[in-house]
Structure formats: C-alpha cells, structure tokens
Structure 1
C-alpha cells in the first residue's frame, strides 16, 4: 500500500509504515501529481481534498487527523466511492485548555462571569461540561442541539450578551444553519462593554473585516483569535488589534495531535480489514519531569490555577511568535503566509494538563477537585 501523508502529523511513520510505504509531504502544497499513485491519503486541515486533488488517482481512503472536515469535499468522495474518516474529539481537550490559558493570561476569572459558548459539539461541549462542573453560569447557542442534549441552550442574542463568548463552531456554508460569517457587524455591535470574544473554531465564522471595524471603534473589547479569515494570509491590521493572536494552534497540543494520528490509523486498519499493531500506549512513554509546585498558601483557587497553567502552557509565547512573524513580513524579510505555516510546522511540543502532577499543601479538598476539573492531577 502506498500512503501519502502530511509531514506535520506526529508519529505518522511509526503508525502508518506498518501498513505500507509512507511518503511525507507539506500538506498545504499537496498536488494531484503527489497523490496520483497513492492508495491512501492522510491529511490535516490545511489540505483541500477535492476533485482537483484526487481526479485520476488511486486513492481509496482519505483520513484527516482533525476534528473539522470542511476541507474535505464529502460529496465528491462519496460519489467516487472513496472512504473517508476524521478524528472527532481528538484535540477537544487541547482547545479547551487554550481557552483556559487565554483567560488566565488576561486575568479574567471565569468563575463569577456569565459565559457564552457558540457551538457545543466535541470542543464546545467539553468546555461546557468543565465550566458547569466548576460552577460557572453558562449560556449556549447551537441550533443543531436540543434542550434535552443541553439544558442551557438559548438564543444567539443572549449568548452575545455574556461577559465571555467562546466560539467553537465548524465552518458550514449550506443547509439550514450556516455558520459562515455568523458574527457580522450587526452581531459584533451587540457585545457588551469590556466583553471577551474568543474564536478557536474556524476563522470565517466571524467576518474579520467587520471585526476590525468594530475594534477600531471599540477598544474596550478584548479579543482572542486563534483562527482567521483567510489563512495563512491573515489581516495584520486585525492581528494588531487583538489581545492574543495565534496561528491556528489551539488544538495543537502534542497529545491532541497524537490522538488524531491514532484514530485515523485505526480507521485505515478497519478499511483494509487488518488488526491495529500500533498504539499510543506502546509508542509514547509517560512524561518525565512532570512535577509541579505552587505557593498555595493564602491564594485563591483561580490564582493557583493561573500559576499552574503558566508553568505548563505559555500562551504569550504563541502570540509573540506570530507578531514577530508579522514584523518580519512587514520589513520584507519573509512572506507572512509562509511564516504562518512554519509556526504551525515547527510548533513546540505542548503537553496537556493531565500529564502533570501538582503538589499542594494548603488547599481544601473542594479546591483540589476544582483544579482536577481543569485536568491537573493533585496530591
């Protein structure tokens, strides 16, 4: 079996070479010539998989190691009898931790606020469950769900009236509930003073030009963008206006990417009717040097969480790297789009909270449980 894969997929050879010959190439520039002789194609979200890429090829299986599937032409794949698989939920925890890290850095205690979530699938649903378990007042908008599935469903207008709004919708351009430009000038104008808006779903769910116009008029708004319209050639003017910007890496924890690799590997094994012979448990050893300490005396649980999150995930470094890339592009030293992709390609290994053990001396059992909801293992 010949397998073509995005070179940025971790452990791609360790998993897929057991099934055939693997050729690794840059995902954004994959061409029809690259995949013509392939039997299977393994990608991430930067590769548009459609007739232009696959026509005349031998590809019978496409796997995307991501939650989102808007980069796959599903109608074409089905019409050609090409089986496809994604990795739903693989990096949901990573994105949720990105949201917590952003709020922590902005010194926004999410406990006393009214928190809005737009899109409550794998990612938004996990964030919702964590926030509810921590006692947060949450409002959700997702027209694809029923009140039985989520009792805190409400209107988009009510969610936009919250103190913090976190967006986790896929990009949908057709059907009864399209998400393309879900937030335009009208919706963004409804945000309350000093509101926090986070988008870690898909860039085009927010009209980026409208957002720039709103931010030019309302510097009180606090915006965090991990996704943009369009990528990789984003608006540098908009980047200059947001408090935190990153190159579509909210779901780029090492653990999340590994989960995606394993899920798609298992799907390909099922496709060719063979038993999986590789697993994360066998390939990835426990994290070394995973002990965390924090001065927990006379500190609130939120302050303790801020200290722990910063030790594990320095979100400011993501922002700084993107802004330095913008500086170099404006100086004519590099092309910004290439720099954006390089930040993703060479993203530092970020491990999730559950890999770390926290030694606490003075906190209550209730506070320990609160920190454990974040994911930390407390002793």
Structure 2
C-alpha cells in the first residue's frame, strides 16, 4: 500500500508505515501528480481534497486528522466509492485550552460574566461543559441542537449580548443553517461595549472585512482570532486591530494532533480490514518535568488558574510570532502566506493541561475541583 501524508502530521511514519510505504509532502501544495499512485491520502485542513486533486488517482481512502471536514468534497468521495474519515473531537480539548489561555492573558475572569458560545459541537460542547462545571452563566447558539441536548440554547441575538462570545462553528456554505459570514456588520454591531469575541472555529464564519470596519470604528471591542478569511493570506490590517492573533493553531496541541493521527490510523485499519498494531500508549512516553508551582495559595482561584495556564501555554508567544511574520512581510523580507504556513509547520510542542500536576498545601478541595475542571491534576 502506498500512502501519501501531510508532512506536519506527528508520528505519521510510526503509525502508517506499519500499513505500507509512506511519502510525506507539504499539505497545502499537494498536486494530482503527487498522489496519482497512492492508495491512501492522509491530510490536515490545508489540503483541498476534491475531484481536481483525486481524478485519475488510485486513492481509495482519505483521512483528515482534523475535526473539520469542509476541505473534503464529500459528495465526490462518496460517489466514487472512496472511503473517508475525519477525527471528530481529536483536538477539542486543545481549542478549549486556547480559549482559557486567551482569557487568562487578557485578565478576563470568566466566572462572573455572561458567556456565549456559538456552535456547540465537539469543541463548543466541551467548552460549555467545563464552564457549567465551574458555575458560569452560559448561553449557547446552535441551530443543529435541541433543548433536550443543551438546555441553555437561545437565539443568536441573545448570545451576541454576552460579555464573552466564543465561536466554534464549522464552515457550512448552504443548507438550512449556513455559517458562512454568520457574523457581519449587523451582528458585530450588536456586541455590547467592551465585549470579548473569540473565533477559534473557521475564519469565514466572520466576515473579516466587516470585522475590520467595525473594529476601526469601535475600539472598545476585544477580539481574539485564531482563524482568518482567507488563509494564509490574511488581512494584516485586521491583525493589527485584534488583541491576540494566531496562525490557526488553537487545535495544535501535541496531544490533539497525536489523537488525530491515531483516530485516522484506526479508521484506515478498519477500511482495509486489519487490526491496529500501534497506539499512542506505546509510542508516547508520559511527560517528564511536569510539576507546576503556585507562589501564593491565598490568591483567588481565578488568579491561581492564570498562573498555572501561563506556566503551561504562552499564548502571547503565538501572537508575537505572527506579528513578527507580518512585520517581515511588510518590510519585503518574506512572503506572508509562506510565513503563516511556516509558523504552523514549526509550531512548538504544546502539551495539554492534563499532563501537569500541582501540589497544594492550603487550597480548598472545592478550588482544587474547580482547577481540575480545567484539566490540571491537583494533589
């Protein structure tokens, strides 16, 4: 079996070489010639998998190591009997931790606020569960769910009136509930003064030109963008106006990417009728040097959470690298789109909160439980 895979997929050789010959290539630049003789194609979200790419190839299975599938032409795959699989939920925890890290850096205590979530699937649903477990007042908009599935469902207008709004919708272009440009001028101008808007779903769910115009007129809004319209050639003017910007890496924790690799590996094994011979448990050793510290246990639980999060995930560094790339592009030193992809390809290894342990002397059991909701192991 010949397998072509995105070179940015971690442990791709360790997993897939057990099934055949693996060729690793840059995902955004894959061509029909690259995959003509491949039996399986393993990608991430930067590869458009459609008839133009697959026509004339031997590919009989496509796996994307991502939650989203809007980059796959599913109708074409189905009509041509090409099996396909995604990795639902693989990096949901990574994206949720990105949201918490953004709020911690911006010094926004999420406990007393009215918190809105747009899109409550794998990612938004996990964020919803954690916020509720921490006692937060959460309102959700997701027309694909029922009140039985989520008792805090409400209208889009109600969610837009919240203090913090976090977006986790897939990109849907048609049907009953399209999400393309779900937020444009009208919706963005409904945001309350000082509102925080986070998009870690799909860039085109927000009309980026409209967002630029609204931010040019309203300096009170606080915006965090991990996803953009379009990528990789994003608006540098818009980057200049958001408080935190990153190159579509919210779901790029090492743990999340590993989960995606394993899920798609298992799907390919099932597709070809063989038992999996590799697992993360055998390939990945526990994290060493995983002890965290709290200098002052008399601080509020939110302040303790800030300290722990910042020890694990330096979200400011993500923002700084993207802005430095923009500076070099404006100076004519590099091509920004190539720089954007370079940041994704060489993203530092970020481990999730559950890999870390914290020893407390005087923190209450209730506060420990609250911190454990974030994922930290508290003893």
Give per-residue Cα distances to partners, 1:110-133, cap 9 Å, x unaligned.
000000000000000000000000
Which residue does 1:190 correspond to in 2? 190
CA drift of 1:300 comes to 0.2
Which residue does 1:135 correspond to in 2? 135
Which residue does 1:297 correspond to in 2? 297
Which residue does 1:159 correspond to in 2? 159
- Mapped to 2, the partners of 1:294 and 1:353 lie a distance apart of 15
1:172 touches 1:179 (CA, 8 Å); kept in 2? yes
1:60 touches 1:82 (CA, 8 Å); kept in 2? yes
Give per-residue Cα distances to partners, 1:303-358, cap 9 Å, x unaligned.
00000000000000000000000000000000000000000000000000000001
CA drift of 1:298 comes to 1.9
- Mapped to 2, the partners of 1:366 and 1:186 lie a distance apart of 42
**Given the two structures, how large is their TM-score scaled by the length of structure 2?**
1.00
Which residue does 1:25 correspond to in 2? 25
Q: How does 1:186-335 map to 2 (within 5 A)?
A: 186-335=186-335
The 4+ residue runs of structure 1 with deviation greater than 6 A are none
Aligned Cα root-mean-square deviation (Å): 0.4
CA drift of 1:185 comes to 0.2
Which residue does 2:114 correspond to in 1? 114
3-state SS of paired residue (1:338): helix
Give per-residue Cα distances to partners, 1:199-240, cap 9 Å, x unaligned.
000000000000000000000000000000000000000000
- Mapped to 1, the partners of 2:348 and 2:241 lie a distance apart of 25
1:296 touches 1:362 (CA, 8 Å); kept in 2? no
CA drift of 1:296 comes to 3.3
Structure 1, unpaired ranges of 5+: none
3-state SS of paired residue (1:46): coil
- Mapped to 2, the partners of 1:126 and 1:223 lie a distance apart of 21
- Mapped to 2, the partners of 1:252 and 1:297 lie a distance apart of 31
2:297 touches 2:304 (CA, 8 Å); kept in 1? no
- Mapped to 2, the partners of 1:181 and 1:56 lie a distance apart of 35
3-state SS of paired residue (1:197): strand
Matching of residue 9 in structure 1 with residue 6 in structure 2: no
Which residue does 1:336 correspond to in 2? 336
2:30 touches 2:47 (CA, 8 Å); kept in 1? yes
Count residues with an aligned counterpart. Answer: 379
Structure 2, unpaired ranges of 5+: none
3-state SS of paired residue (2:150): coil
- Mapped to 2, the partners of 1:278 and 1:34 lie a distance apart of 26
3-state SS of paired residue (1:348): coil
**Given the two structures, how large is their TM-score scaled by the length of structure 1?**
1.00
CA drift of 1:297 comes to 2.7
